[in-house]
Amino acid sequence: MSRQAKAVVCREWGKPVQVETITVDGPKRGEVTIKVAACGVCHSDHSATTGKIQYPPPLVVGHEGAGVVVEVGEGVTGLKEGDYVVTTFITMCGKCRNCVRGRPVLCENAKKSMVTLPDGTVRTHGKDDEDLYVFGACGVMAEYATLHEDNCVKIDEGVPLPSAALVGCAVITGVGSVFNTAQLEPGSRAAVFGIGGVGLNAIQGCVTAGAEMVIAVDTNEAKLEMAKEFGATHTININEVEDVSKAIKKMTAGGVDYAFECVGNGKVVEQAYKALGRAGTVVVVGVADMKDKTSISTFALPADERTLKGSWLGSARPQYDFPKILNLYKANRLKLDELITQTYSIDEAPQAFEDMIAGKNARGVIVFE
């Protein structure tokens, strides 16, 4: 059945998002409709509204959601009405070469569903039946959303849904970049550049994985304070040092084993690379502008056996990693509730974007009634 829903829509790159009432069609084969309970506001949503991430408008934003299944399409086997789910912008077909070799975030079929559902069409419509694209096959900054079941991960009841929502992007991206992409060993020395929702989770991933030193780097003092609460052992405000890479090398007597770039800027990638010790690894998590470039010393790559690698959604296997993260949360080994600095109603979504850009929140979360 079709439902009316308030949704956060980007109508034009560079303009603020707006809240509209849209129509959400019921599920087709393999799909479910969820009543969204909460959706985190991620920098990637903002990047899609500026054209930094080139998703065409009109676009329903939101990919970091949690909710309850209210309708199930034909052929759905893994979910039923009433199930609690966290959404993921990765469609995993489970059959392509990358899925079967354990790299579902690189699913060859996911590429087709960056702004539509996997079958190439949408269930979201504006006035006069106009099609609205959806961020990452999700578009869950809306009261209702119809998604493919492969973009939903079933979770246990009992976890507050606003906290669970964050697992779908910020938490898995940060924690997964440490656990899965870097496979950081206990006793390692690490630096995290950019302490937003993603960077804070890279910090707590490093702590949980047993890092000896975790250095938080940002331009914003309030973010560095948050970093300490999430277990950073040291902080550096870039504005207060002449050369951040040298400062890190000095602090660690030679450089870090792992540096996580959670900003999305080639200059920061360069700083992270220069802060490495021998055999060090830079993990690039931030999503830069398509035209952005970075520059590194080619010589040091072999001579120091350095590694430069990227991490997409924390190299996750969502169906495996999301429940694992929620279990670590239940065991008090990862913080989720503390990531939520501020909640907003859907009508306040434009403010939530402004606050994120102003660096006010670890995470702002839209909470639905």
What does the binding site for Zn ion look like in residue numbers (CB under 5 A)?
A: 42, 44, 169
263 binds, among ligand NAD, Zn ion, none (CB under 5 to 8 A by kind): ligand NAD
Minimum distance of ligand NAD from residue 288's CB (angstroms): 7
Minimum distance of ligand NAD from residue 229's CB (angstroms): 14
196 binds, among Zn ion, ligand NAD, none (CB under 5 to 8 A by kind): ligand NAD
Comparing CA positions, the residue from 38, 348, 351, 43 lying closest to residue 195 is 43
Which residue, 22 or 170, has its beta carbon nearer to ligand NAD? 170
Let me know the angle formed at the C-alpha of 232 by 264 and 367, rounded to the nearest 5 degrees: 65
Comparing CA positions, the residue from 133, 151, 168 lying closest to residue 53 is 133
Which residue, 129 or 242, has its beta carbon nearer to ligand NAD? 242
Cβ-contact 134, 59 below 8 angstroms: yes
Minimum distance of ligand NAD from residue 356's CB (angstroms): 5
Which residue, 24 or 90, has its beta carbon nearer to ligand NAD? 90
CA-based torsion, 125, 59, 43, 269: positive or negative: positive
88 binds, among ligand NAD, Zn ion, none (CB under 5 to 8 A by kind): none
Which residue, 27 or 197, has its beta carbon nearer to ligand NAD? 197
Which residue, 188 or 265, has its beta carbon nearer to ligand NAD? 265
115 Cβ partners below 8 Å, 6+ apart?
55, 56, 59, 133, 134, 135, 136, 137
Q: In 3-state terms, what secondary structure has residue 101?
A: coil
Cβ-contact 143, 6 below 8 angstroms: yes
* Residues contributing to the site for ligand NAD (CB under 6 A): 42-44, 47, 169, 173, 193-199, 217-220, 223, 238, 262-265, 268, 285-287, 311-313, 356, 359
Minimum distance of Zn ion from residue 64's CB (angstroms): 5
Minimum distance of ligand NAD from residue 119's CB (angstroms): 24
| CA distances in angstroms from 359 to 194, 200, 220, listed in the order given | 11, 13, 8
